[in-house]
């Protein structure tokens, strides 16, 4: 594959993954508008986000594995087509039920992340793998921030339905270019899709994420929440047992136990909790009327613009990370990124009286996100066999999402647990919440420091974190596990 082909392939992958990432956050600021337009309740409209989250959590690791087995390009195009169908259906949705179904279809596009990482590993020269993964991670991270910035102007100038019409054309062109320009990887996993494991994986993810995302509405002590969490534990145990006994596991648990993988996933869980909570609650803080004793009374557009420094910082640091990783390694960059998240949340807790202070703290967090996203992806890709790249990076993205759901749920409980007579939260709810997020990011820093060091010069296609050749089959996995 020549250099020009590399650039075109990367452009296609970055566009698809960036649009999907943008759509994760694009609708969030417009939920009140959607609620009013479709005549539904606040509790019901939150399912527009929940359905997307659950669907992406299910399909990201499953289709990542399918891509490893039948071809990443073919699976990538399928995920893009599903995203197009979901966007068109959402734009035309006459009621909230149809919109929720459309968002669930859009969630299938979550597979774009692991498939894109896998294609880069398979097709790019070894010297370009880490920088390209860092650049793609920067686009993915920036896409989420860009969605928050873009939502306000689009809804104000057009209509919330254009939040789905605009991505439709971009994704359609991306699918066409992917079909014509991306080569099909010759690298394949062995075996077949373990459908029982797929059902069990889907079951425990839904049973875990659903009560976490709805806990503030249902109540943490409610029968539904407790029952679903217990169900998640049982289904997880059955899934792990099924995978351990399977000759063709959906996700090889031996890979998940590799030191570099489990420590990176732990950091992803903790950092994801802080990152998604900040994304969810910093705009709400900015939009709080000044009469509450804090906040700036910003509009949706104004709150989005306040997040712009974060967007710029995360994109720049993600790009720079690709240049720094060959010199310093991904481990210290992940630790620095998580530490910057802790610094930012501490600043938000005690230093939020002026808009420029919040914008500066957001930019610091953006720097951390850019470094952490790129480093996590590189650490996973460097640590697993090429035939397991899709499933392993898919689970890493999933674990980050699970952490985000936990962080957002806990932050919501702290912010909304005690409210003023006006119904607005007390400032202490945000202060205590941001301090908790700082502690989670600090714990992520500790997990990052536990990641085994990679010697300079090692590359994803040739080595794993132990310094041994990248395992190509189960026999080699046994040698790298210890």
Beta-bridge mates of residue 419: 425
Whole-angstrom distance, CA of residue 142 vs CA of residue 316: 9
How many structural domains is the chain composed of? Answer: 2
Residues 84, 27: one domain? yes
Whole-angstrom distance, CA of residue 168 vs CA of residue 149: 19
Residues 317, 330: one domain? yes
User: Is the dihedral angle over the CA atoms 337, 410, 61, 255 positive or is it negative?
Assistant: positive
pLDDT at position 2 over 60: no
Residues 221, 114: one domain? no
Q: Which of 2-6, 103-107, 110-114 has the lowest mean pLDDT?
A: 2-6
| Parent domain of 208 | 194-247
Residues 335, 210: one domain? no
Side-chain half-sphere exposure of 299, counting CA atoms within 13 A: 9
Residues 388, 284: one domain? yes
Do 370 and 138 touch, CB atoms closer than 8 A? yes
Radius of gyration of the chain (CA): 21
Which of the pair, 149 or 38, is modelled with greater confidence?
38
Residues 363, 220: one domain? no
Q: Residue 475: pLDDT band by 50, 70, 90 thresholds?
A: very low
Residues 316, 235: one domain? no
pLDDT, residue 456, reads 46
pLDDT at position 482 over 50: no
Q: In 169-261, at which residue ranges do the beta strands (DSSP E only) sit?
A: none
Whole-angstrom distance, CA of residue 285 vs CA of residue 302: 12
Do 387 and 472 touch, CB atoms closer than 8 A? yes
Classify each residue of 283-318 as buried b or exposed e, where b means 16 or more C-beta atoms within 10 Å of its C-beta: bbbbbbeeebebbbebebbebbbbbbbbbbbbbbbb
Residue count (the chain) = 482
**Percent of the chain scoring above 90 in pLDDT:** 33
The CATH number of whichever domain residue 42 belongs to comes to: 1.20.1250.20
> Average pLDDT of 433-441?
95
Do 284 and 458 touch, CB atoms closer than 8 A? no
- CA proximity to 395, closest of 285, 213, 256: 256
Which of the pair, 238 or 146, is modelled with greater confidence?
238
Residues 28, 73: one domain? yes
Backbone φ and ψ for 463, nearest 5 degrees, come out as: -145, 165
Residues 404, 262: one domain? yes
Residues 241, 266: one domain? no
Domain boundary among 215, 247, 279: 247
Sequence-separated (6 or more) residues with CB below 8 Å from residue 194: 242, 243, 246, 248, 249, 250
């Amino acid at each position: 594959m020549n250099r020009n082909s590399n650039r075109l392939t990367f452009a296609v992958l970055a566009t698809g993954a960036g649009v999907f990432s943008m759509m994760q956050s694009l609708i969030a600021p417009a939920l009140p508008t959607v609620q009013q337009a479709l005549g539904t309740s606040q509790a019901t409209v939150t399912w527009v986000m929940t359905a997307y989250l659950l669907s992406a959590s299910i399909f990201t690791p499953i289709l990542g594995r399918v891509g490893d087995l039948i071809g990443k390009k073919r699976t990538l195009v399928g995920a893009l087509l599903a995203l197009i169908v979901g966007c068109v259906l959402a734009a035309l949705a006459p009621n909230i039920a149809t919109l929720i179904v459309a968002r669930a279809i859009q969630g299938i596009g979550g597979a774009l992340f692991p498939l894109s990482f896998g294609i880069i590993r398979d097709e790019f020269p070894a010297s370009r793998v880490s920088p390209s993964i860092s650049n793609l991670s920067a686009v993915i991270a920036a896409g989420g921030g860009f969605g928050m910035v873009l939502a306000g102007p689009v809804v104000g100038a057009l209509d919330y339905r254009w939040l789905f019409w605009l991505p439709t054309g971009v994704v359609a062109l991306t699918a066409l270019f992917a079909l014509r320009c991306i080569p099909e990887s010759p690298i394949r996993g062995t075996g077949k899709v373990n459908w029982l494991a797929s059902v069990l994986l889907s079951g425990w993810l839904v049973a875990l994420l659903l009560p976490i995302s709805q806990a503030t509405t249902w109540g943490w002590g409610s029968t539904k929440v407790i029952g679903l969490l217990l169900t998640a534990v049982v289904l997880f145990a059955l899934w792990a047992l099924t995978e351990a006994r399977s000759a063709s596991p959906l996700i090889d648990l031996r890979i998940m136990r590799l030191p570099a993988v489990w420590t990176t996933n732990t950091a992803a869980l903790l950092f994801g909790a802080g990152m998604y909570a900040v994304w969810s609650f910093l705009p709400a803080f900015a939009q709080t009327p000044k009469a509450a004793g804090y906040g700036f009374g910003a509009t949706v557009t104004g709150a989005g613009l306040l997040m712009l420094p974060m967007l710029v910082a995360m994109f720049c640091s993600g790009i720079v990370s690709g240049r720094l990783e060959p010199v310093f390694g991904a481990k210290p960059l992940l630790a620095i990124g998580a530490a910057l998240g802790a610094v930012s949340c501490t600043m938000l807790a005690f230093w939020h009286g002026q808009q420029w202070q919040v914008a500066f703290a957001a930019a610091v967090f953006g720097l951390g996100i850019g470094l952490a996203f790129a480093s996590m992806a590189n650490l996973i890709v460097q640590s697993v066999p090429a035939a397991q790249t899709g499933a392993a990076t898919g689970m890493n993205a999933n674990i980050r999402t699970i952490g985000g759901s936990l962080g957002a749920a806990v932050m919501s409980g702290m912010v909304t647990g005690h409210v003023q007579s006006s119904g607005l939260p007390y400032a202490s709810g945000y202060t205590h919440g941001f301090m908790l997020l700082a502690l989670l990011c600090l714990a992520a820093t500790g997990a990052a420091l536990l990641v085994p060091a990679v010697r300079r010069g090692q590359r994803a296609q040739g080595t794993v974190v132990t310094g041994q050749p990248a395992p190509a089959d189960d026999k080699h996995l046994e040698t790298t596990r210890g």
